A and B are shown apart, each in its own frame.
Chain A
């Protein structure tokens, strides 16, 4: 089966600019997650979708981050305006079940550098 697709792979922007990331989960996976992984740390959940509804966005900095999952398939994560501390890898993951009993499948990630 095809994996979780993410684009772009790399992005360099200046602080205060905007950026958007795209994710296409595995076909049939109802649950989609966006994680932020800062260099040297474990991934941190930003937002979780079940189909096209938000399940958990408690750790999403809503003053600058937004995410949507239209039609319960693809998802986009946007940062506006970006700060230096947003430099990280943004990982998208999907799972068949909300409870993740089958584990999560991660995409290759988007490496964001804010200068």
Chain B
């Protein structure tokens, strides 16, 4: 059975700091997605990673995929308050399986 594990589940960080969110999954897949969800809102697609070694960057967020290690990372550079949200990774198998989410709070 496909399992998707994110860590940490909760992350409180200061503005200007860097941090990485990890997403491990248990079954081979070559497609991984990162989503952002603000409280009471729906999911917003951030990145679609389709191959081993894929790296995508948008603003202060950078995502990478290592299919051999079954690991994806979401790196946050110089965090700002606006990045406060819950971030989900999701892995494509027969369907798209989501991790439990990382609730990020960026404090001034």
Contact = CB atoms under 8 A, between A and B. Distances in A.
Q: Do A and B bind each other?
A: yes
Tell me what chain B mostly uses at the interface: helix, strand, loop, or mixed.
strand
A101 B42 contact: no
Contacts of A107: 42
A106 B95 contact: no
Report the interface size class on chain B.
Answer: 20 to 34
Nearest to B103: A40
Contacts of A42: 4, 88, 90, 98-101
A108 B43 CA distance: 8
Contact of A91 (B43, B45, B48): B43
A42 B33 CA distance: 13
A93 B90 CA distance: 14
Interface of A: 33, 40-45, 48, 56, 91, 93, 99-109
